Protein backbone atom coordinates (compact mmCIF):
# COMPACT_ATOMS: atom_id res chain seq x y z
CA UNK A 1 0.00 0.00 0.00
CA UNK A 2 1.33 3.45 -0.89
CA UNK A 3 1.89 6.02 1.82
CA UNK A 4 -0.71 8.75 1.92
CA UNK A 5 0.58 12.17 0.85
CA UNK A 6 1.58 14.89 3.26
CA UNK A 7 -1.49 17.14 2.97
CA UNK A 8 -1.44 20.84 3.74
CA UNK A 9 -4.82 22.56 4.08
CA UNK A 10 -4.55 26.16 2.86
CA UNK A 11 -7.43 27.27 5.07
CA UNK A 12 -8.33 28.15 8.63
CA UNK A 13 -11.90 26.87 8.12
CA UNK A 14 -13.04 24.83 11.12
CA UNK A 15 -15.57 23.06 8.88
CA UNK A 16 -12.89 21.85 6.43
CA UNK A 17 -10.67 20.80 9.30
CA UNK A 18 -13.53 18.84 10.91
CA UNK A 19 -14.38 17.03 7.67
CA UNK A 20 -10.76 15.94 7.11
CA UNK A 21 -10.46 14.84 10.75
CA UNK A 22 -13.69 12.83 10.48
CA UNK A 23 -12.24 11.05 7.43
CA UNK A 24 -9.05 10.26 9.36
CA UNK A 25 -6.87 12.21 6.93
CA UNK A 26 -3.53 13.35 8.32
CA UNK A 27 -2.92 17.02 7.48
CA UNK A 28 -1.41 20.26 8.63
CA UNK A 29 -2.90 23.73 8.39
CA UNK A 30 -1.31 26.64 6.57
CA UNK A 31 -3.94 29.38 6.28
CA UNK A 32 -3.46 32.07 3.68
CA UNK A 33 -4.63 35.65 3.65
CA UNK A 34 -5.15 36.49 0.01
CA UNK A 35 -7.40 39.01 -1.66
CA UNK A 36 -10.11 36.79 -3.09
CA UNK A 37 -11.76 37.45 -6.43
CA UNK A 38 -15.34 38.51 -5.72
CA UNK A 39 -16.77 39.20 -9.17
CA UNK A 40 -17.08 37.25 -12.37
CA UNK A 41 -18.54 34.00 -13.58
CA UNK A 42 -19.17 32.06 -10.32
CA UNK A 43 -17.56 28.75 -11.32
CA UNK A 44 -14.43 30.52 -12.57
CA UNK A 45 -14.25 32.64 -9.41
CA UNK A 46 -14.43 29.56 -7.14
CA UNK A 47 -11.68 27.71 -9.04
CA UNK A 48 -9.42 30.77 -9.31
CA UNK A 49 -9.73 31.53 -5.59
CA UNK A 50 -8.93 27.90 -4.71
CA UNK A 51 -5.81 28.11 -6.88
CA UNK A 52 -4.77 31.43 -5.33
CA UNK A 53 -5.08 29.96 -1.83
CA UNK A 54 -3.15 26.80 -2.70
CA UNK A 55 -0.38 28.72 -4.47
CA UNK A 56 -0.03 31.11 -1.53
CA UNK A 57 0.41 28.15 0.86
CA UNK A 58 2.84 26.20 -1.33
CA UNK A 59 6.44 26.00 -0.14
CA UNK A 60 9.10 25.39 -2.73
CA UNK A 61 11.00 22.12 -2.51
CA UNK A 62 8.47 20.62 -0.11
CA UNK A 63 7.22 17.09 -0.79
CA UNK A 64 3.64 17.85 0.06
CA UNK A 65 0.19 18.14 -1.42
CA UNK A 66 -1.41 21.54 -0.89
CA UNK A 67 -5.21 21.74 -0.85
CA UNK A 68 -6.93 25.03 -1.59
CA UNK A 69 -10.72 25.27 -1.53
CA UNK A 70 -13.09 28.14 -2.16
CA UNK A 71 -16.82 27.77 -1.58
CA UNK A 72 -19.38 30.29 -2.72
CA UNK A 73 -23.10 30.57 -3.22
CA UNK A 74 -24.51 31.63 -6.59
CA UNK A 75 -28.06 32.48 -7.54
CA UNK A 76 -28.17 32.83 -11.30
CA UNK A 77 -24.96 34.79 -12.01
CA UNK A 78 -24.91 36.64 -8.67
CA UNK A 79 -22.29 35.55 -6.13
CA UNK A 80 -23.21 35.63 -2.45
CA UNK A 81 -20.08 35.52 -0.34
CA UNK A 82 -19.73 35.99 3.40
CA UNK A 83 -22.01 38.85 4.48
CA UNK A 84 -20.03 41.58 6.25
CA UNK A 85 -22.86 42.61 8.59
CA UNK A 86 -26.40 41.84 9.72
CA UNK A 87 -27.96 44.02 7.03
CA UNK A 88 -26.09 42.14 4.27
CA UNK A 89 -26.94 38.78 5.88
CA UNK A 90 -30.64 39.69 5.93
CA UNK A 91 -30.47 40.83 2.27
CA UNK A 92 -28.70 37.62 1.21
CA UNK A 93 -31.12 35.32 2.99
CA UNK A 94 -34.09 37.26 1.62
CA UNK A 95 -32.71 36.85 -1.92
CA UNK A 96 -32.22 33.08 -1.40
CA UNK A 97 -35.65 32.56 0.22
CA UNK A 98 -37.89 30.31 -1.88
CA UNK A 99 -35.17 29.90 -4.52
CA UNK A 100 -32.76 27.17 -5.55
CA UNK A 101 -29.16 28.32 -5.50
CA UNK A 102 -25.91 26.60 -6.35
CA UNK A 103 -23.08 26.03 -3.90
CA UNK A 104 -19.84 25.93 -5.89
CA UNK A 105 -16.51 24.80 -4.51
CA UNK A 106 -13.31 25.19 -6.43
CA UNK A 107 -10.76 22.59 -5.34
CA UNK A 108 -7.06 22.96 -6.14
CA UNK A 109 -4.41 20.33 -5.37
CA UNK A 110 -0.78 21.26 -5.89
CA UNK A 111 1.88 18.55 -5.87
CA UNK A 112 5.32 19.84 -6.70
CA UNK A 113 4.86 21.86 -9.88
CA UNK A 114 1.69 19.96 -10.86
CA UNK A 115 -1.62 21.78 -10.42
CA UNK A 116 -4.94 19.96 -10.51
CA UNK A 117 -8.32 21.71 -10.23
CA UNK A 118 -11.95 20.65 -10.07
CA UNK A 119 -15.33 22.17 -9.42
CA UNK A 120 -18.11 20.73 -7.25
CA UNK A 121 -21.74 21.82 -7.55
CA UNK A 122 -24.60 21.25 -5.14
CA UNK A 123 -28.10 22.61 -5.64
CA UNK A 124 -29.78 23.89 -2.48
CA UNK A 125 -33.48 24.77 -2.39
CA UNK A 126 -34.46 27.18 0.37
CA UNK A 127 -37.87 27.17 1.98
CA UNK A 128 -39.97 30.30 1.58
CA UNK A 129 -38.61 32.09 4.65
CA UNK A 130 -40.66 34.66 6.52
CA UNK A 131 -39.13 37.92 7.68
CA UNK A 132 -39.46 36.61 11.26
CA UNK A 133 -37.52 33.43 10.44
CA UNK A 134 -34.77 35.42 8.71
CA UNK A 135 -34.60 37.89 11.63
CA UNK A 136 -34.41 34.96 14.08
CA UNK A 137 -31.59 33.35 12.09
CA UNK A 138 -29.65 36.59 11.68
CA UNK A 139 -29.97 37.22 15.44
CA UNK A 140 -28.34 33.81 16.05
CA UNK A 141 -25.09 35.11 14.54
CA UNK A 142 -24.46 31.77 12.84
CA UNK A 143 -24.32 33.50 9.43
CA UNK A 144 -21.00 35.16 10.26
CA UNK A 145 -18.14 33.93 8.09
CA UNK A 146 -20.44 31.72 5.98
CA UNK A 147 -20.78 31.85 2.21
CA UNK A 148 -24.39 32.66 1.44
CA UNK A 149 -24.93 33.72 5.05
CA UNK A 150 -25.98 30.30 6.43
CA UNK A 151 -24.57 27.10 7.88
CA UNK A 152 -26.48 24.01 6.75
CA UNK A 153 -24.76 21.89 9.41
CA UNK A 154 -26.12 24.17 12.14
CA UNK A 155 -29.46 25.81 12.79
CA UNK A 156 -29.30 27.11 9.21
CA UNK A 157 -30.76 23.73 8.29
CA UNK A 158 -34.18 25.23 9.08
CA UNK A 159 -33.83 27.43 5.97
CA UNK A 160 -33.31 24.50 3.60
CA UNK A 161 -36.01 22.45 1.89
CA UNK A 162 -33.72 20.05 -0.02
CA UNK A 163 -30.31 19.57 -1.56
CA UNK A 164 -29.13 17.78 -4.68
CA UNK A 165 -25.48 16.82 -4.59
CA UNK A 166 -22.69 16.54 -2.04
CA UNK A 167 -23.85 17.71 1.41
CA UNK A 168 -20.24 18.16 2.53
CA UNK A 169 -19.76 20.61 -0.35
CA UNK A 170 -22.38 22.87 1.24
CA UNK A 171 -20.54 22.57 4.56
CA UNK A 172 -17.30 23.63 2.83
CA UNK A 173 -15.32 20.67 1.47
CA UNK A 174 -16.63 18.47 -1.36
CA UNK A 175 -15.43 15.06 -0.21
CA UNK A 176 -16.35 13.13 -3.35
CA UNK A 177 -14.52 15.61 -5.57
CA UNK A 178 -11.45 15.65 -3.32
CA UNK A 179 -11.26 11.84 -3.24
CA UNK A 180 -11.72 11.62 -7.02
CA UNK A 181 -8.67 13.88 -7.30
CA UNK A 182 -6.59 12.23 -4.59
CA UNK A 183 -7.96 8.80 -3.57
CA UNK A 184 -4.74 7.96 -1.73
CA UNK A 185 -5.74 10.39 1.06
CA UNK A 186 -7.70 7.56 2.66
CA UNK A 187 -4.84 5.09 2.54
CA UNK A 188 -2.84 4.42 5.64
CA UNK A 189 0.96 4.34 5.72
CA UNK A 190 2.53 0.95 5.01
CA distance 11 to 13: 5
C-alpha 151/C-alpha 159 separation (Å) is: 9
In this structure, what are the phi and psi dihedrals at residue 28, rounded to the nearest 5 degrees?
-120, 165
CA distance 150 to 119: 21
3-state secondary structure of 186: helix
User: Which residues carry out catalysis?
Assistant: 70
Contact 151, 144 (CB under 8 A): no
Cβ 115 vs Cβ 48: under 8 Å: no
Please work out, in degrees rounded to the nearest 5, the angle formed at the alpha carbon of residue 58 by the alpha carbons of 19 and 185.
35
- DSSP class of 97: T
Q: Name the 3-class secondary structure at 38.
A: coil
3-state secondary structure of 98: coil
Amino acid sequence: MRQSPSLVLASASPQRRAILERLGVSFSIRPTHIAEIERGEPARVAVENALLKARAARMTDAQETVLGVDTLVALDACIYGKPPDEYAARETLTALSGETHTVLSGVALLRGDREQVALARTEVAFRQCSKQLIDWYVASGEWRGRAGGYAIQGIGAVLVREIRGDYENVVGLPVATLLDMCPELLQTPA
